[in-house]
Structure 1
Amino acid sequence: MVLATEQPTREELVRRVSDLAPTLQARTAWSEENRRAHDDSIADLAEAGIFKMRVPARYGGYECDTRSLVDVATELGRIDGSLAWTASVYWIPTWMACLFPDEVQDEVFSTPDVRVCGTLSPGGMATPVDGGAVVNGKWGFISGAPHSHWQEIIAVMPGDDGEPAPVMALVPMSELRIIDDWHTSGMRGTGSVSTVAEDVFVPSERILPLGAVLQGQSASAHNTGSPIYRVPLLPVASASSVGAVLGMAKAARDVFFERMPKRTITYTNYTSQAEAPLTHFQVAEATMRIDEAEFHAHRLAEMVDTKGVENATWTVEERVRARADLGAVCRLGKEAVDTLATASGGSSIYNDVAMQRISRDMQAVNLHALMHPNTNTELYGRVLCGLEPNTLYL
């Protein structure tokens, strides 16, 4: 199937998101309360083409570069961190679906504005049978699952030599059971529920060795010539995630300056918070942290895009630096939000003030296993010290 589609510019996609800001922001309270994205917000993002950004052009997708993901997610993160996270998560498994054989992609992308959720953590067992495997397992933190058509799962399957190894498989959401267990303090609007497979048959063409995927190997004939599909998974996942975090940090700054003109500092002689030297220090420090986070986000995107265009081999140091850049964005973004939240006073803890939601969301992101600043920084330092990485997720 070949579809002609107009390829919007990066700036056009950002503008589309920006135009939706009032509408999307009006639904943030609903998403918090109902613990998932609003159906209408998903429809709005679909109409804006956000779910086409990692879809191959031959299916009507945009095949956007990584910098476009960062900029669009940043703008969306300024509006709603949970919604930005959900869109970012869709981009990663959608990209992963593009590594499968072309006939599998024909099936996946036959659905307009298809949404693929997923995980990188093994949560099940795959038993080989004729024509494929039978999968049983449970996967948690599946962001966007309530609005997904497919899920990318990771399971452990015995190989031809009998040795177990992780595999990546694509499963229709209709064949999985959703457990509504997403009761959290942060990122409440992401619908990151658990999913369960019970004797689900997966045909062999929808199963790939995870090790090959992590090394950037693809089973697709059509996509091998496209720069965005010939880079390793973890740098792609890292670069796909940073924009939402950067956007949340910028959202905190936006909210702070919106509220500042009407705020005094209680129990002091300051009639305006803007007069206090402490405020000057806090806003400057937070802004510098956001600037630093933006540097790491853009450096990461540039490395992924450049090496994809050049079809260049990735060194181990480059791979772990991608994760270090991701961790740096998370750490610096949280530091900026913490500073601005502290400066926002007791009135900011009310539910109708966005600062408290942004602060909770940023805390949750920094606890994510792949994004945790300490884990990523340690990994980078380990390799810089001449040691082998202690993970396959590079």
Structure 2
Amino acid sequence: MTIMVPTADLAELPSGTRVQETFGVDEFRRRLAAMGPLVKDRAPEAEANRRLLPETFGQLRDARLFRVAQPPMFGGVGLDIDQVYEIAFELGRADPSTGWNAAFYALHNHQIGMMPKETQEEYWAASYDVQMATASGVVRAVFEDQGDTVLVNGEWDFASGVDYADWLQLNRLTEKGAQQMLLHRSQFEIIDNWRTAGARATGSNRVRVVDARVPPHRTLDAQLMANGDTVGRQLHPSRFYKLPIFPWMGYVITCAIIGAAQGMLDVFSDQAPRRREMTTGDMFVDRAANQLRIAEASAEVHAARQIHAGDVRLFHEWADADYRPTMLERAAVRRNAAYCVKLCLNAAYRLFEVGGASAIYDHNPLQRYYRDISVMSHSIAVVWDPIAEQYSRVLWDLPPKSYNL
């Protein structure tokens, strides 16, 4: 059932309906801005909860923020990945974990548009408000081909936001290459093991799969995604379906981290004028060393934002020209996204270092931002060393070591 309703009535809709709604960038930004203060106020509680708070999830869902890059054919609001980047940055600025989860929910609903159309129809059959999680850390994985289906058993870590997920995507490596596989909520169990130094509110728990059968229409050759050759190119209007997925997808994580670094800068800038040096009594902001730290940290975050903005313009140019970027161009974008994280990590360390003894208290947001940025920077999609190595290998005509270019 599809229901058309005025925007003001969205919060009162029953769950499980297929509401079709479209809005532009201005309305999107109004809704996103309205969520920022709520998310920021709830950050300590969300961290203690070790997952996104139910009320926050519900409000983000009802604001249709998870649908911004979802195909319009299946309830999408008519925007694109550009707005997923904005979600990651703005909500990450308020609370890094919420920005991370919200951006992933929106990203994953775009990704479903790459699966076979039969899968898309199945995914959104009951509601347009559906979420998917991915689990990337293999603990134990066994895949058995049994005729047309695949029997799946195993455990995987790092399933961010899985508590609110209706579906789960897993990665399978075969001799022929990688495959993406989609499992329904009834086919996996959540293991509550997410007790970490930071990013606690992402709820990135372990999942267990026992004797789950995956039909062929719920699998996708990762090489099709890597080259921008999925059915999404023909079915849906988003320019990002024309592009290799791995260069632009990494920036979703990067933008959450850039937003977190900007949020840490905001907190530091707000606290600094009220601080005094313990040994001299002088105003903290009068000391040249402190002025240099904030200037350098803000320059690093600004540089990261500009690098990202430049690559987004490049994505638009590639898509509009239906241009297939070279391996070196793809590797360069992935290098840039990882380097932005490196810049933000440097900025976070510098701010925490000069934050003083008061920065270590639980009630001080500086320590939470610092921990969250540190933990998020460990994501395999943005870790500097392997991505930098990959770029250099491609530059020097050596075979790449990973399929995700």
TM-score over 0.5 for the pair: yes
Query: Is the CA contact 2:87–2:103 (under 8 Å) kept in the aligned structure 1?
Result: no
Query: Is the CA contact 2:23–2:78 (under 8 Å) kept in the aligned structure 1?
Result: no
Residue of 304, 312, 328 corresponding to 1:317: 328
**1:251-279: CA deviation from partner (whole Å, max 9, x where unpaired):** 01110111112111111241x11111112
In structure 2, distance between residues paired with 1:22 and 1:226 = 30
Q: What residue is the counterpart of 1:62 in the other structure?
A: 77
CA RMSD of aligned residues (A): 2.1
Q: Secondary structure at the match of 1:214?
A: helix
**1:235-256: CA deviation from partner (whole Å, max 9, x where unpaired):** 2311222221111011011101
Query: Is the CA contact 2:143–2:150 (under 8 Å) kept in the aligned structure 1?
Result: yes
Q: What residue is the counterpart of 2:358 in the other structure?
A: 347
Q: What residue is the counterpart of 2:293 in the other structure?
A: 282
Residue of 124, 148, 151 corresponding to 2:165: 148
Distance 1:314 1:63, change over 3 A: farther
Aligned pair 1:251/2:266, yes or no? no
Q: Secondary structure at the match of 1:58?
A: helix
What's the offset of the Cα at 1:98?
1.1
Q: What residue is the counterpart of 2:195 in the other structure?
A: 183
What's the offset of the Cα at 1:357?
0.4
Tell me which amino acid in the other structure corresponds to 1:133. V
What's the offset of the Cα at 1:388?
2.8
Query: Is the CA contact 2:133–2:168 (under 8 Å) kept in the aligned structure 1?
Result: yes
What's the offset of the Cα at 1:91?
3.1
Query: Is the CA contact 1:65–1:305 (under 8 Å) kept in the aligned structure 2?
Result: no
**1:125-181: CA deviation from partner (whole Å, max 9, x where unpaired):** 322224422111211101000111111111245xxxxx5643211111221011111
Aligned pair 1:76/2:91, yes or no? yes
What's the offset of the Cα at 1:192?
0.2
Aligned pair 1:134/2:128, yes or no? no
In structure 2, distance between residues paired with 1:357 and 1:385 = 40
In structure 2, distance between residues paired with 1:156 and 1:192 = 22
Tell me which amino acid in the other structure corresponds to 2:351. L
Tell me which amino acid in the other structure corresponds to 1:101. P
What's the offset of the Cα at 1:224?
5.6
Q: Secondary structure at the match of 2:347?
A: helix
Q: Between the two proteins, what is the percent identity of the paired residues?
A: 26
**1:55-89: CA deviation from partner (whole Å, max 9, x where unpaired):** 10111203533332222221111111001111222
Query: Is the CA contact 1:317–1:380 (under 8 Å) kept in the aligned structure 2?
Result: yes
42-51 vs 24-33, greater mean Cα deviation: 24-33
In structure 2, distance between residues paired with 1:248 and 1:37 = 16
Q: Which runs of 5+ in 1 are unaligned?
A: 158-162
What's the offset of the Cα at 1:2?
8.3
Aligned pair 1:116/2:116, yes or no? no
Aligned pair 1:29/2:29, yes or no? no
What's the offset of the Cα at 1:44?
1.1
Aligned pair 1:229/2:245, yes or no? no
In structure 2, distance between residues paired with 1:220 and 1:345 = 51
Tell me which amino acid in the other structure corresponds to 1:19. A
In structure 1, distance between residues paired with 2:176 and 2:324 = 28
Distance 1:44 1:225, change over 3 A: closer
Q: Secondary structure at the match of 2:186?
A: helix
Q: Which runs of 5+ in 2 are unaligned?
A: 5-19
**1:359-379: CA deviation from partner (whole Å, max 9, x where unpaired):** 001111111111112222232
Q: May I ask how many residue pairs the two structures share in their alignment?
A: 388
194-203 vs 165-174, greater mean Cα deviation: 165-174
Query: Is the CA contact 2:85–2:103 (under 8 Å) kept in the aligned structure 1?
Result: no
**1:165-200: CA deviation from partner (whole Å, max 9, x where unpaired):** 432111112210111110100111100001111100
What's the offset of the Cα at 1:7?
3.5
What's the offset of the Cα at 1:53?
1.6
In structure 2, distance between residues paired with 1:241 and 1:101 = 26
In structure 1, distance between residues paired with 2:142 and 2:317 = 37
Aligned pair 1:210/2:222, yes or no? yes
In structure 2, distance between residues paired with 1:321 and 1:3 = 45
Residue of 350, 360, 366 corresponding to 2:377: 366
Aligned pair 1:97/2:97, yes or no? no
What's the offset of the Cα at 1:221?
7.5
What's the offset of the Cα at 1:223?
2.3
What's the offset of the Cα at 1:380?
1.8
Query: Is the CA contact 1:239–1:301 (under 8 Å) kept in the aligned structure 2?
Result: no
105-114 vs 2-11, greater mean Cα deviation: 2-11
Distance 1:360 1:320, change over 3 A: same
10-19 vs 35-44, greater mean Cα deviation: 10-19
Q: What residue is the counterpart of 2:56 in the other structure?
A: 41
Q: TM-score, normalised by structure 1?
A: 0.92
Q: What residue is the counterpart of 2:403 in the other structure?
A: 392
Residue of 248, 266, 277 corresponding to 1:265: 277
5-14 vs 76-85, greater mean Cα deviation: 5-14
Tell me which amino acid in the other structure corresponds to 1:82. S
Query: Is the CA contact 1:3–1:57 (under 8 Å) kept in the aligned structure 2?
Result: no
Q: Secondary structure at the match of 2:336?
A: helix
370-379 vs 76-85, greater mean Cα deviation: 370-379
In structure 2, distance between residues paired with 1:42 and 1:32 = 14
In structure 1, distance between residues paired with 2:121 and 2:153 = 26
In structure 2, distance between residues paired with 1:8 and 1:172 = 30
Q: What residue is the counterpart of 1:160 in the other structure?
A: none
261-270 vs 212-221, greater mean Cα deviation: 212-221
